[in-house]
Amino acid sequence: MGVNDFAKLPHIGESLKRKEDGRFLTGAGQYTDDIRQADQKYAAFVRSPHAHAVIKHVDTSQAAAMPGVMRVFTGADMQGKMGGLPCGWLISNPDGSPMKEPPHPILAHTKVRHVGDQVALVVADTPEQAKNAAEAVQVDYDVLAPVIDMRRASQGPALHEEAPDNHCYTWTLGDKAAVDAAFATAAHVTQLDITNNRLIPNAIEPRAVNAAYHRASDEYVIHVANQNPHVERLLMTAFVLQLPEHKVRVIAPDVGGGFGSKIFLYAEDVALTWAARQLGCAIKWTAERSESFVSDAHGRDHITHAEMAMDKDGKFLAMRVHTHANMGAYLSTFSTCVPTILYGTLLAGQYATPQIYVEVDAWFTSTAPVDAYRGAGRPEATYVVERLVTRAAWEMGLAQDEIRKRNFVTQFPYQTPVALQYDTGDYHACMNQAQQLADVAGYQARKQTSQAKGLKRGIGYSSYIEACGLAPSNIAGALGARAGLFECGEVRVHPTGSVTVFTGSHSHGQGHETTFAQVVAARLGIDPSQVDVVHGDTGRVPFGMGTYGSRSLAVGGAAIMKALDKIEAKAKKIAAHLMEASDADIEFSGGQFKVKGTDKTIPFAQVALTAYVPHNYPLDTLEPGLNETAFYDPTNFTYPAGTYICEVEIDPATGVVRVDRFTAVDDFGVIINPMIVEGQVHGGVAQGMGQALMEHGVYDVESGQLLTGSYMDYAMPRAADFPEFTLGHVCTPCTHNPIGSKGCGEAGAIGSPPAVINAVLDALKELGVKDLDMPATPARVWHTIQTAKV
């Protein structure tokens, strides 16, 4: 079935109310911390108070003797019994040598390398007993100087023996000689130094693990707040604990938001699994928010110098970028591909820039590991490109929209100079619709109204592109991925015609139980209430790579479509037999099998029943049953794109930035459930605006302490911080997956930060302000205004 026919089916494009809401709205959801096992024990971790220190001695005797304490484990107990946490993506230096990949121990043994690094594990009868005992563990440290500023990391003390200058890798992409030559002929070069601020993900459900060992079957059952349970199991069994994979069941039940931070295999998950076997029980650990701040993988944290070479008309000739990327103290699961594969390849943006060269230096610092956070590399790339483009416009005396329109890619497929091939898009259409919805025509009048109140109004554009649906496995493998990146789906038709779908994608808020049910119901001509979606359980779902990179529908949905193709093909044979026709003469639509050119039909449910009660059935040529599994490996990334327009009003006396209007027009290809898609955009835009205006993970340069370690110090966006967002859609269907969808989960967080900051800079232009780093807090904006006056 082609994409266009699929998009016309019933339930496709319908804002069906979510099937999962019932349990969440009545308190019946089951998150990891809600689950209590028989013989449940509780864990607490002893964490380093220092950013960088040698562990001289750990004394657990007092803690071990406290009431209810079963055991206290230290790094010494684990030495030689397990591997460290693996990194899933190998990046190579320009000379072909591999990145520095120092060990990432489950419990720190000889050294701690960031505040919050885990040093010991206490298991006790109650959470309180475990926490009290953790406080009684005495650790004798020899404190070393921390490494916080990555620009000076090479001069700091080495965090790892393997990386004496704290340098992890240099990665380059593009033709440097061609770029340098283009710069030499440019009519104008625009330069920009920018910082992409460190963010702390803050899913509202803290990380949690409940690991149980069952002696009777020699099996492990691990409940964990995680976005990809099969990957968690694979990494844990094959690389760390050397356990038989089939003896470990990982269940990611209801998960309270992820945003990337729950993709990764964390030390706590491994430590509890191992300890559960040592003690023969179930052990639960739920992070306190303070622990989440210091131990969840953080996001972003880039420092970049970017240059754009243009001809006299503002046509882009070449772009040159250097980025310092902070890896934190250890390499988290996908940390290394974020500032490289997911960043450098996106630097073409929506523009036909002929030549691009990017160089990235990745550094170890004594901070929490940095890894994928909503957008992962693509927000950083978009921020570079869109800030640079707006500044270039102003330097060339062009409007923000004009310079974009002059440089948009208009012919597809389009091969960028940074490895990607865009399959389809209509960037002018997104821009035009955004300008209409944002009432750009009325902007000058609004600016005058603001002016009359003594306020500065500005407008900012951002035309983003992202690469989603990670990814063709063979290409990812060639680029250093140590895993495949396909997805698996199983469609199980029951004898009475209802359906259970098993998907390797994982929903932690995205509403797959509804969207995927719509896809299946549409294809089979049944009601969505007859379709249940199962995810997040390695014991029930055949396999899965999980949810990240806005891949669930484009890759996971495509796998389900492939399984449905198989279901349909087999069902047609059964129908042909029942109607005494040839297979080739059977048509299937609206839930009815029909013999072409006749009025003979039978319904889907009758075929389903026949498959399981095969009395009148071609048993000699066809197996009974109607249950099909498919794996789908994408042939390309998908390329959602759009234009965002932000309007801000700034009080120059206080520096307070108020976002007055925010318009987002996105091209996600075919949309299954517009209500859910809009919700994804709202959330993404809110996180992007949070980055632009409020959020900032800050470490003290001297002490290495996390200064923003609680909700009293890290500014989380609240309801009153946002205006009502205006959304629009353009649809150019993805050309290479059967649904035609491109993915919508990250767009908002990718496109919005530069739109906001460009608006702030536009508002402050007349005060002489040229530059401002995120977050544009009142203090920073006010200070910038004062400095510009001088």
Partner 1 sequence: MMKVELNVNGKPVTADVPENTLLVHLLREHLRLTGTHVGCDTAQCGACTVIANGRSIKSCNVLAAQMQGAQITTIEGVAAADGTPHPLQAAFNDCHGLQCGYCTPGMVMSAIDLLAHNKNASQAEIREQLEGNFCRCTGYQNIVKAVQQAQKTMTA
Residue 292 tokens, joined: 């989440």
Q: What is the DSSP string of 464-506?
A: EE--BS---HHHHHHTTBSS---EEEEEEE-TTS-EEEEESS-
| Chosen residue from 9, 63, 203, 471 binding partner 1 by CB under 8 A | 203
- Considering only residues 288-307, where is the footprint of partner 1 by CB under 8 A? 288-290
Provide, rounded to whole angstroms, the least separation between the CB of residue 574 and partner 1: 38
- Considering only residues 650-679, where is the footprint of partner 1 by CB under 8 A? 675-676, 678-679
| Chosen residue from 4, 21, 61, 569 binding partner 1 by CB under 8 A | 21
Q: 599 vs 724, which CB is nearer to partner 1?
A: 724
Q: How far apart are CA 391 and CA 765, in angstroms?
A: 11
Contacts with partner 1, 496-535, as mask; x by CB under 8 A: ------------xxxx------------------------
Provide, rounded to whole angstroms, the least separation between the CB of residue 125 and partner 1: 13
Q: 28 vs 613, which CB is nearer to partner 1?
A: 28
| Chosen residue from 472, 634, 655, 683 binding partner 1 by CB under 8 A | 683
Q: 27 vs 397, which CB is nearer to partner 1?
A: 27
Q: How far apart are CA 400 and CA 395, in angstroms?
A: 11
Cβ of 159: how many Cβ atoms within 10 Å? 27
Provide, rounded to whole angstroms, the least separation between the CB of residue 255 and partner 1: 7
Burial of 619 (0-12, 13-18, 19+ CB in 10 A): exposed
Provide, rounded to whole angstroms, the least separation between the CB of residue 463 and partner 1: 21
- Judge whether 343 and 173 are in contact, CB under 8 Å: no
Residues counted in the chain: 790
Provide, rounded to whole angstroms, the least separation between the CB of residue 711 and partner 1: 4
Which single residue is written with the structure tokens 């490494």? 147
| Chosen residue from 22, 94, 244, 768 binding partner 1 by CB under 8 A | 22
Please state, in angstroms and as integers, the Cα–Cα distance from residue 15 to each residue in 12, 565, 681, 732, following that order.
Answer: 9, 25, 15, 20
Provide, rounded to whole angstroms, the least separation between the CB of residue 200 and partner 1: 11
Q: How far apart are CA 461 and CA 600, in angstroms?
A: 58
Count of positions on this chain that bind partner 1 (CB under 8 A):
56
Our finding on whether 686 is near partner 1 (CB under 8 A) is: yes
Q: 22 vs 768, which CB is nearer to partner 1?
A: 22
Stretch touching partner 1 by CB under 8 A, among 49-57, 189-197, 248-256, 698-706 = 248-256
Q: 289 vs 765, which CB is nearer to partner 1?
A: 289
Provide, rounded to whole angstroms, the least separation between the CB of residue 341 and partner 1: 26
- Considering only residues 535-554, where is the footprint of partner 1 by CB under 8 A? none
Q: 305 vs 658, which CB is nearer to partner 1?
A: 658
Provide, rounded to whole angstroms, the least separation between the CB of residue 241 and partner 1: 29
Which single residue is written with the structure tokens 């002489």? 768
What residues pair up with 436 in beta bridges, in sequence order? none
Stretch touching partner 1 by CB under 8 A, among 24-32, 144-152, 229-237, 305-313 = 24-32
Cβ of 89: how many Cβ atoms within 10 Å? 21
- Judge whether 579 and 756 are in contact, CB under 8 Å: no
Provide, rounded to whole angstroms, the least separation between the CB of residue 400 and partner 1: 24
Our finding on whether 309 is near partner 1 (CB under 8 A) is: no
Our finding on whether 95 is near partner 1 (CB under 8 A) is: no
Which single residue is written with the structure tokens 């844990």? 236
Q: What is the DSSP string of 690-744?
A: HHHHT----B-TTT--BS--STTTS----GGG---EEEEEE----SSSTT-B---
Q: Which residues are CB-contacts of 554 (< 8 A; sequence separation ≥ 6)? A: 468, 469, 634, 638, 734, 737, 739, 741, 742, 743
What residues pair up with 45 in beta bridges, in sequence order? 121
Contacts with partner 1, 688-727, as mask; x by CB under 8 A: ----------------------xxx---x-xxx-x-xx--
- Considering only residues 27-46, where is the footprint of partner 1 by CB under 8 A? 27-31, 33-34, 36
Rounded (5°) CA angle 733-738-739:
55
Our finding on whether 649 is near partner 1 (CB under 8 A) is: no
DSSP structural state of residue 776: -
Torsion from C-alpha of 387, 390, 391, 393, nearest 10 degrees = 160
| Chosen residue from 685, 693, 694, 744 binding partner 1 by CB under 8 A | 685
Our finding on whether 18 is near partner 1 (CB under 8 A) is: yes
Q: 37 vs 601, which CB is nearer to partner 1?
A: 37
Q: 12 vs 144, which CB is nearer to partner 1?
A: 12
- Considering only residues 249-288, where is the footprint of partner 1 by CB under 8 A? 254-257, 259, 286, 288
Q: Which residues are CB-contacts of 228 (< 8 A; sequence separation ≥ 6)? A: 252, 263, 506, 544, 545, 546, 547, 548
Rounded (5°) CA angle 635-540-29:
105
Provide, rounded to whole angstroms, the least separation between the CB of residue 20 and partner 1: 7
- In 350-455, DSSP assigns E strands to 355-364, 414-415, 421-422
Q: 23 vs 596, which CB is nearer to partner 1?
A: 23
Chain positions contacting partner 1, by CB under 8 A: 17-18, 20-31, 33-34, 36, 202-206, 254-257, 259, 286, 288-290, 508-511, 675-676, 678-679, 682-687, 710-712, 716, 718-720, 722, 724-725, 748
